Amino acid sequence: MTTDEHAPRQFQSRRRFLQETACGLGTIALWQLMANEACAKPHFAPRAKNIIFLFMPGAPSQLDLMDPKPTMQKYHGQPVPAHMLDGLDDGLIRGSAHIFASPRTFRQYGQSGMAYSDYIPHHGKIADDICLIRSIHTDIANHTPAQLLMNCGLPIFGHPSIGSWVSYGLGSENQNLPGFVVMTSNSGSGIDAGTANWSSGFLPSEHRGVTFRASADPVLHLRSPKGVSAASQRARLDAIGDLNRIHQTKIGDPEIASRIAAYEMAYRMQSAAPELLNFSAETKATREMYGIDNDTTRAFGTNCLLARRMVESGVRFVQLYHSTWDDHSNLNTKLKQNCDMTDRGATALVMDLKQRGLLDETLVVWGGEFGRTPMNEVRRGNIPGKEGRDHHPFAFSMWLAGGGIKAGQIIGETDELGYHITRDPIHIHDLQATLLHCLGLNHEQLTFRHQGRDFRLTDVSGEVMTKLLA
């Protein structure tokens, strides 16, 4: 609630709004609005205040980046051992595929001894600052449903994303900026589930991810048209708000309150959003660390720097999408291109947050929707030097840093080919439960009643992975 004596009544808190309009609201609508408000606080003391999720749609090859398998060299070009395919029912993984040993060289870094390939050398600088998980698994090996499962908890459209759940559960720290922001780089192609990845689903629309761009106009259609003064815009917004409130009292639709909130947020963002893009206070060293002055690293690096500035400004959940890592062929070339674009920025983000004393309260997540197979992709042919990998849901890698996570450790293990998990399996719902836990949210209690059922991000499963926690 603003303290400005000239603030319009649309800036009033939701509680005040409910008090003023309760007589005209239906019982169900009133309950939903009050439930939303009551939920906007942690269930217990949080380990983190914010999350930055570096999402890599298309699925990076863990075997060529951070889960080295030297034993694969002796099996290279041979058929997959039969026992690994026993009982396999997967439309993408073919028994006719041959083992494809990674051509990458690996090096161990830091006291933790984490191994990274020559494609992501910058990651070595943060080896002791992250928790590397080599035992993530998912249920689906198709991009669209797998991206939805990772981001929304279910492999179908229409459900809230994790950022929306966080916004709903904790509200915003900054009334002039949204609680959930999304940015894309590398054209945005390969985000197969599209904007559904950051949808609010059946939650109030104010919790939907707002797409930002690293340009002078960070949010499309945010600026007023030419010739429209601030005073006239304010008067127009007041009039629309009055009409919406009248409509609200008649039909009791809680989405109208979200609409009012969205209009007001857009108005306040007109000054707040462009300020985020003002890098004049950033040092030359910081810009160089993120690679902003380099053509290859500029897009993703700029988004990473913006993500840091956003959490500094109180944005709860920032998600960066860099696509696409779907390397069915030409793995050596395509994987290197994406690594060249992202390695520096992701590393700089963790280092910068740490230098500023923000890493303890900011949880950084890196990963895709599934992994890649230890075998060569058979659908594209087996041309030497042009090999690629297919989709692999049974075992892949992700990493976490900051925000209550125990740094410098490796969680989980896969077999000598990287095919199956042999220690500490972590399902997507376990990961989601753990992320919410770090924010002080109990994944079983963070629910929303929709169509007669209490929905949650983790559906009907999920367990907090205490091994990950500091």
How far is 411 from 327, CA to CA, in rounded Å?
26
Give the tokens for residue 154: 């279910």
Give the pair of three-digit tokens for residue 247.
Answer: 């409509």
| CATH class for the region spanning 40-214+277-419 | alpha beta
pLDDT of residue 215: 60
Ranges of residues in the chain whose predicted pLDDT is under 70 = 1-39, 88-96, 188, 214-238, 240-242, 244, 247-248, 252-273, 380-382
Q: How far is CA 233 from CA 79, 256, 377, 411, in A?
A: 68, 20, 56, 54
Residues 6+ apart with CB under 8 A from 278: none
What pTM does this model have? Answer: 0.85
pLDDT at 102: 96
What angle (nearest 5°) sits at the alpha carbon of residue 438, between those of residues 313 and 469? 130
Confidence (pLDDT) at 35: 40
In this structure, the strands spanning 396-401 and 362-367 are antiparallel
Q: In the structure encoding, which two tokens stand for residue 267, read together?
A: 């108005």
Q: What pLDDT does 411 receive?
A: 98
Write down the pLDDT at residue 29.
Answer: 36
Domain ranges of the chain: 40-214+277-419
**Residue 406 carries which side chain, given as an amino acid letter?**
K
Please return the burial class of 232, using the count of CB atoms within 10 Å of its CB with bins 0-12, 13-18 and 19+: exposed
Residue 414 CA: distances (Å) to CA of 6, 72, 105, 244, 312: 61, 13, 19, 56, 37
List Cβ<8 Å contacts ≥24 apart for 429-432: 429/153, 429/458, 429/459, 429/461, 429/462, 429/463, 430/462, 430/463, 430/464, 430/465, 431/133, 431/136, 431/398, 431/465, 432/153, 432/162, 432/457, 432/458, 432/462
| Strand 362-367 relative to strand 391-392, pairing | unpaired
pLDDT digits (tens, 9 = 90+) for 143-202: 999 999 999 999 999 999 999 999 999 988 988 889 999 999 987 678 999 999 999 999
Q: What is the DSSP string of 90-131?
A: -SS--TT-BB------EEEETTTTEEEETT-GGGGGGGGGEE
Say which DSSP state 405 is in: B
Q: What residues contact 204, with CB distance under 8 A and at least 6 apart?
A: 36, 168, 254, 255, 257, 258
- Non-local CB neighbours of 89 within 8 Å, separated by 6+ positions: none
Residue 13 · residue 21 · CB < 8 Å: no
HSE-up of residue 231 (Cα within 13 Å, Cβ side): 0
Residue 172: strand, helix, or coil: coil
CA distance 222 to 212: 11
How does pLDDT run across 359-369, given as a tens digit for each residue? 999 999 999 99
Q: How far apart are CA 180 and CA 225, in angstroms?
A: 26
